[in-house]
Amino acid sequence: MAFPRLKVWARNVRRDVVALWIAARDPRVPWYAKAIAAAAAVYAFSPIDLIPDFIPVLGYLDDLVIVPLGILLAVRLIPVPLMQEFRERAIREISKPKSYVGVGAVVFIWAIAAVWLIWTFWPDCNS
């Protein structure tokens, strides 16, 4: 029964990270709240961790502690009406349709690169 609650928590974390990214760029938010909001959002979205994930236990523990604490601190520093507005905007941003044209362009570029590599390095192709 904890799994549905965990899914809701993860969805709320994602929403709050996007909301903090929006807050970090809003002129109505105090500068110190912007700094912490931007740091929390960048750390959450970044593939680089303070403690690498391959270190047993500690690697994942930093993601489970640092990100929620950064979100909690930033949310407390942002005025409640503004944070509610940013959360609503984040929900709209998350639910926007994704660009399939962009995905198609990336897949096309990778396919061209794969064909070129095969053509260049496959021994029987150049004879």
* Predicted confidence (pLDDT) per residue in 8-54, tens digit: 888 888 899 999 999 999 999 999 999 999 998 888 887 777 777 77
* Predicted confidence (pLDDT) per residue in 58-97, tens digit: 777 777 888 889 999 999 999 999 999 999 999 998 887 6
* 75 and 126 co-located in one domain: no
* 83 and 53 co-located in one domain: yes
Q: Which one-letter DSSP state was computed for residue 127?
A: -
Question: What SS3 state is found at 73?
Answer: helix
**pTM for this structure?**
0.67
How far apart, in whole angstroms, are the C-alpha atoms of residue 96 and residue 80? Answer: 25
* Predicted confidence (pLDDT) per residue in 95-123, tens digit: 876 667 777 777 888 889 889 888 888 77
How far apart, in whole angstroms, are the C-alpha atoms of residue 56 and residue 39? Answer: 25
Domain that holds residue 61: 2-96
What is the radius of gyration, based on Cα positions, of the chain? Answer: 21
* 82 and 124 co-located in one domain: no
- Most distant CA atoms of the chain, gap in Å: 69
